[in-house]
Structure 1
Amino acid sequence: MKLPLKTRYALLSLVVSVVLVGVKFYAWALTDSQVVLTDALESIINIVASAFALYSIYLAGLPKDENHPYGHGKIEYLSVGFEGGLILMAGGYIFYAALLALWEPHTVARPDWGIVLLAATAIVNLGTGWLLVRAGRQHHSPALVGDGQHLYLDAVSTFVSCAALGLVMLTDNMLYDALAALGLGAFIVVNGFRMVRRSVSGLMDEADVSTVQQVVAELQEHREPAWIDVHNLRVQRHGANLHIDCHVTMPYYLSLEQTHEHVHDIEALVAQEFGIPVEMFVHADPCTFAACWHCHVTDCPVRRHPFTQEITWTLANVAKNERHQLEVTSPPSPLSEKERGD
Structure 2
Amino acid sequence: MLKVNEQVNTITKTARIDIVERRKRAARWSVVSNSALIVSKLAVGLSIGSISVISEAIHSSVDLIAAIIALIAVRIAARPADKSHPFGHGKIENLSGAIESLLIFAGAGVIIMEAVDKFGAAPVIEQPLLGAAIMGASALVNFLVSKYLKKVAKETDSIALLADAAHLHADVITCVGVLVGLSLVWITGWNWLDPVVALLVAMLIIKAGWEILLHSISGLVDSSLPDEENRVISQRIEHYKEWYVNYHMLRTRQSGPDRHIDFHLVVPDEMTALEAHRLCNWLEEDIHNSVNSITVQIHIEPQSICTESEGIYLCSSSK
**Equivalent residue in structure 1 for 2:66, among 49, 72, 75:** 49
Matched, 1:212 2:230: yes
TM-score, scaled relative to structure 2:
0.87
**Equivalent residue in structure 2 for 1:261, among 265, 278, 290:** 278
Gaps of 5+ in 1: 295-310, 312-321, 325-342
- Give the whole-Å Cα distance in 2 for the aligned partners of 1:196 and 1:98: 25
Contact 2:94 2:159 in 1 (8 A): yes
SS of match in other structure, 1:282: strand
- Number of aligned residue pairs: give it: 297
Matched, 1:149 2:172: no
Q: How big is the shift at 1:289?
A: 9.9
Contact 1:228 1:291 in 2 (8 A): no
**Equivalent residue in structure 2 for 1:195, among 187, 191, 212:** 212
Q: How big is the shift at 1:232?
A: 1.1
Matched, 1:17 2:34: yes
Contact 1:10 1:54 in 2 (8 A): yes
* Amino acid across the alignment from 1:171: T
- Give the whole-Å Cα distance in 2 for the aligned partners of 1:158 and 1:254: 65
Contact 1:114 1:162 in 2 (8 A): yes
SS of match in other structure, 2:86: coil
Closer/same/farther in 2, CA of residues 292 and 143 from structure 1, 3 Å limit: closer
- Give the whole-Å Cα distance in 2 for the aligned partners of 1:116 and 1:225: 66
More helix by share: 2
Contact 1:30 1:114 in 2 (8 A): no
**Equivalent residue in structure 1 for 2:94, among 48, 72, 77:** 77
For 2:5, the equivalent position in structure 1 comes to none
For 2:302, the equivalent position in structure 1 comes to 286
- Give the whole-Å Cα distance in 2 for the aligned partners of 1:152 and 1:268: 37
- Give the whole-Å Cα distance in 2 for the aligned partners of 1:180 and 1:35: 6
**Equivalent residue in structure 1 for 2:84, among 53, 67, 71:** 67
* Amino acid across the alignment from 1:193: W
List aligned pairs for 1:43-192, cutoff 5 A. 43-192=60-209
Contact 1:98 1:181 in 2 (8 A): yes
- Give the whole-Å Cα distance in 2 for the aligned partners of 1:194 and 1:277: 25
* Amino acid across the alignment from 2:282: D
Closer/same/farther in 2, CA of residues 254 and 292 from structure 1, 3 Å limit: farther
For 1:300, the equivalent position in structure 2 comes to none
Query: What percent of counterpart residues are identical?
Result: 25
Contact 1:53 1:79 in 2 (8 A): yes
TM-score, scaled relative to structure 1:
0.82
Contact 2:224 2:254 in 1 (8 A): no
For 1:272, the equivalent position in structure 2 comes to 289
SS of match in other structure, 1:280: strand
Larger Rg: 1
- Give the whole-Å Cα distance in 2 for the aligned partners of 1:292 and 1:225: 18
